[in-house]
Amino acid sequence: MLVNFDQIIEALIETVQMVGFSLLFSAILGLPLGILLVVTRKGHLLENLPVFNVINGIINIFRSVPFIILMVAIIPITRFIVGTSIGTAAAVVPLVFYAGPYIARLIENSLLEVDPGVLEAAQAMGATPAQVIFRFLIPEALSSLVLAFTIATIGLVGASAMAGAVGGGGLGDLAITYGYQRFDTMVMLITVGILVVMVQGLQTFGNLFSKRIRRR
Amino acid sequence: MIEFQQLKKVYNSGGQEVAALNGIDLLIKKGEIFGVIGFSGAGKSSLIRCVNWLEQPTSGKVIIDGKDLTALTSAQIREVKKNIGMVFQHFNLLNSKTVFANVAMPLLLSKVPKEEIKKQVTELLEFVGLSDKANYYPDQLSGGQKQRVGIARALATNPSILLCDEATSALDPQTTSSILELLRKINQEYAITILIITHEMAVIREICDRVAVIEAGKIIEEGTVFNVFSSPKTDTARNFVSSVMNDQIPDSIKEIIEKNDGLQKVFRIQFIGQTAGQPLLSQVAKKFDIHINVLFGNITELQGTPFGNLIVEFQGADREINRALMYINQEKVSIKEVKAHAS
């Protein structure tokens, strides 16, 4: 084997960092966008079709660019934000551009599942739009939102491995440089094995957490 | 008090304008239970939703306790809404919150202190008979219990108006009567004005003081429940009344009348209030030389007043029958001849 145990651990930590930070920033970006996508649509709480159409369009544009292209295309932006286009921190930028719009869509879907009758009851009580969103819409969708974030996190694990290909570091980097380019099957098996365990763990945790919230 | 003045609501569906409300003028007095009945699509849902601004009218006025909603800002309307509770057909409770939290929600929105919320919610749950269910979730409750939570929530801000949007339509008959009983209790103990919309005439008969019949966005009949039930003026009202009053002549008797068309003299007699207590038929039979054959009859109680309906056949000479009819008319009892092919 061409790598030692410490390198694997280091790569694992890098992956966790990449996924963690990009999840955090994409959630900060995606959550308000997802909420706006729901409440500005026709017939909803804060109907505003221009806002809806613009957000909707921009999200579709980002969602249609393949991640590997997106990564290269936004290098100037990455440089501007992080100062470099190589390394774990630099990988977070394209990951956020990739996962933010994705999370916005997932959140939109979850929020749309909330019974419109509940929102009507909220409005009948004289709730302000902010109260409707934070006291009714989000709590009612919470369990479904947890599942949405689980899907997004797993998506990020996969994407972060791809980011490794352009020097992002992490398990993907290890798998490509040693497992693929130097034909080290053992490294390939170990990295893929770790990724499988990670995804299984995340999905199981997400399911349990969501179920706990749903309380059935 | 709720007042509608020339209220109109027009929807635009696929380029076509559909008028859900077509000039409604209606006054609902303080402290009364007012029912609006109509078939689905008649506009009753739009009407009740204009009261708490879930829908905005196209033109006309909605006046709540002297305030014209069309002249208020949205912040002012939110304040007015806190004085109006609403109960929904499908309860519309938060499934993610306990019964307690659901009832507490309107108070939480008004930023009432925690201690005060706890006290009020406990009282409300006791009032609706769900003290033991405070920590349950809505999906652990039956339909009737969910509606009780809905009612407790609607009462939380101590409103002066309660709107019931088909509040019993998703419930079985027994649960319906227990919910109606609760609504009556609310009306009596808190002197809350209640506006009920429904397609079930039984609900109107059970608890309403006055009723309006709505059709194609217009009020086509309005009056006390007693007047509308005892003498409906429009076909739609008659239809609704007969759905609960059982005053139609049964088919078997219709057949007999049709078979002997013209040979029999069949009449429908309606007794109202005190006249229902008089032995009228036996007096007629004694005074005049006729036989009376009762074909069908029933007595219903409407708002505490008995209301009777009899289908009788008079046998005897035409002259005697005519005299008997005149006598009955003097007694202020309504009598009408029933012909074949008619009811």
CATH number of the domain encompassing residue A163:
1.10.3720.10
Structure ipTM? 0.87
- Chain B nearest-CA distance from A38, in A, is 18
Segment A203-216 mean pLDDT: 88
CATH 3.30.70.260 fits B251-338, yes or no: yes
Give the total number of structural domains in chain A. Answer: 1
pLDDT of residue B13: 81
Return the CATH architecture of domain B2-244: 3-Layer(aba) Sandwich (3.40)
- Asked if A135's CB is within 8 angstroms of B86's CB, the reply is no
Residue B200 φ/ψ region, left for φ over 0, alpha for ψ in the -120 to 50 degree band, beta for the rest: beta
Q: Quote the CA–CA distance of A141 and A157 in Å, as a whole number.
A: 24
pLDDT digit string (tens) for chain B, length 343 residues: 999 999 999 988 888 888 999 999 999 999 999 999 999 888 999 999 999 999 999 999 999 999 999 999 999 999 999 999 999 999 999 999 999 999 999 999 999 999 999 999 999 999 999 999 999 999 999 999 999 999 999 999 999 999 999 999 999 999 999 999 999 999 999 999 999 999 999 999 999 999 999 999 999 999 999 889 888 899 999 888 888 877 777 788 778 777 776 677 888 888 877 666 678 888 888 888 888 888 888 888 777 788 888 888 888 888 888 888 888 888 778 888 876 554 4
Percent of residues, chain A, with pLDDT higher than 90: 75
> Contacts for B287-294 with beta carbons within 8 Å, 24 or more apart?
B287/B324, B287/B327, B288/B316, B288/B320, B288/B321, B288/B323, B288/B324, B288/B327, B289/B316, B289/B317, B289/B320, B290/B314, B290/B315, B290/B316, B290/B317, B290/B320, B290/B321, B290/B324, B291/B315, B291/B316
User: Could you give the 3-state DSSP secondary structure of residue B194?
Assistant: strand
Q: Which of B52, B53, B94 to mutate to test the interface with A (most CBs of A within 10 A)?
A: B94
User: Could you give the 3-state DSSP secondary structure of residue A79?
Assistant: helix
Residue-range definition of the domain harbouring residue A133 = 5-214
Q: Which residue of B has its CA nearest to A121?
A: B92
Is residue B11 within 8 angstroms of chain A, CB to CB?
no
pLDDT of residue B343: 45
Question: Domain residues of chain B, as ranges?
Answer: 2-244, 251-338
Q: Quote the CA–CA distance of B245 and B238 in Å, as a whole number.
A: 10
- Asked if A127's CB is within 8 angstroms of B109's CB, the reply is yes
Half-sphere exposure of A116 (CA within 13 A, CB side): 7
pLDDT of residue A148: 96
State pLDDT tens for residues A57-81. Answer: 999 999 999 998 998 899 999 999 9
| Contact status, residue A67 vs residue A159, Cβ threshold 8 Å | yes
Strand partners, B270: B309, B334
Q: Quote the CA–CA distance of A148 and A202 in Å, as a whole number.
A: 12
Q: Is it the case that residue A102 has pLDDT exceeding 70?
A: yes
- Asked if A126's CB is within 8 angstroms of B96's CB, the reply is no
- Asked if B108's CB is within 8 angstroms of A135's CB, the reply is yes
User: Could you give the 3-state DSSP secondary structure of residue B5?
Assistant: strand
Is residue B67 within 8 angstroms of chain A, CB to CB?
no
pLDDT of residue B275: 66
- Asked if A143's CB is within 8 angstroms of B96's CB, the reply is yes
pLDDT of residue B26: 96
- Chain A nearest-CA distance from B329, in A, is 52
Segment A155-174 mean pLDDT: 85
